Amino acid sequence: MTTSDDAFQDHYPENVAQCYGCGRLNEHGHRIRTCWDGDETVTRFRPEPYHTSVPGFAYGGLIASLIDCHSTGSAAAAMYRQAGRDMDSQPPFRFVTGSLHVDFLKPTPLECELELRGQIKEIKGRKVVVTTSVLADGVVTARGEVVAVQMPDSFGS
Ligand SMILES: CCCCCCCCCCCCCC(=O)SCCNC(=O)CCNC(=O)[C@H](O)C(C)(C)COP(=O)(O)OP(=O)(O)OC[C@H]1O[C@@H](n2cnc3c(N)ncnc32)[C@H](O)[C@@H]1OP(=O)(O)O
């Protein structure tokens, strides 16, 4: 059962809840939490001092991984929403990243809560394309596009 306080990641089955970016069970990871805001998806994340690149600014790999997992979570949520299904219902929609493109538009300050806002650009078959903006104090510092693809049964074999 989904409630308005739930994050998408609260509903990930245990076998996909270890992801470094979004797994709630990975104590060393970012453990991002993403929710709907109308037709957009939102994640808020406060970088730690050890996420530094140039002093005072966030490491680009952190920004990319936030965009990645924000977008794969958004893709899963969009697929459930389109199907009119609860995120706990079976069978699960599980996504992996097929493609991750990031444009770094401005330096992203470190000492600031970041807001990621995602838009569902396309849903086609097993593929969902998500565009995600990263905002620091309301200024867009990075923009990404992710092609998320439903994980095939053969994944990893
Ligand atoms: C509540 C439950 C929710 C849980 C869910 C969330 C879990 C989150 C878990 C954490 C995750 C965290 C994130 C991580 O870190 S995930 C870890 C990093 N990602 C991977 O390891 C993925 C490795 N790659 C693969 O397994 C396969 O290549 C995949 C599965 C991606 C596609 O191989 P598959 O044979 O299955 O696909 P297809 O050929 O039938 O193509 C299908 C469609 O996709 C389009 N396409 C494919 N590749 C690309 C590409 N590179 N660029 C652009 N488009 C691409 C393709 O054109 C086609 O579209 P169209 O031509 O029909 O339009």
Gap between the Cα atoms of 114 and 116, Å rounded: 7
Protein residue closest via CA to atom 27 of ligand 1? 98
Atom of ligand 1 nearest to the CA of 155: 26
Question: What count of other Cβ atoms lies within 10 Å of the Cβ of residue 1?
Answer: 8
Flag whether pLDDT at 98 surpasses 70. Answer: yes
Flag whether pLDDT at 1 surpasses 90. Answer: no
Q: Is 89 in the pocket of ligand 1 (CB under 6 A)?
A: no
Amino acid at 93: F
Domains within the chain, CATH numbers bracketed = 8-150 (3.10.129.10)
ipTM for the predicted complex = 0.95
Contact 35, 7 (CB under 8 A): yes
What's the average model confidence in pLDDT over 57-76? Answer: 98
Distance 16 CA to ligand 1 centre (A): 15
pLDDT on residue 152: 85
Vertex 129 angle, CA 128 and 131, to 5°: 140
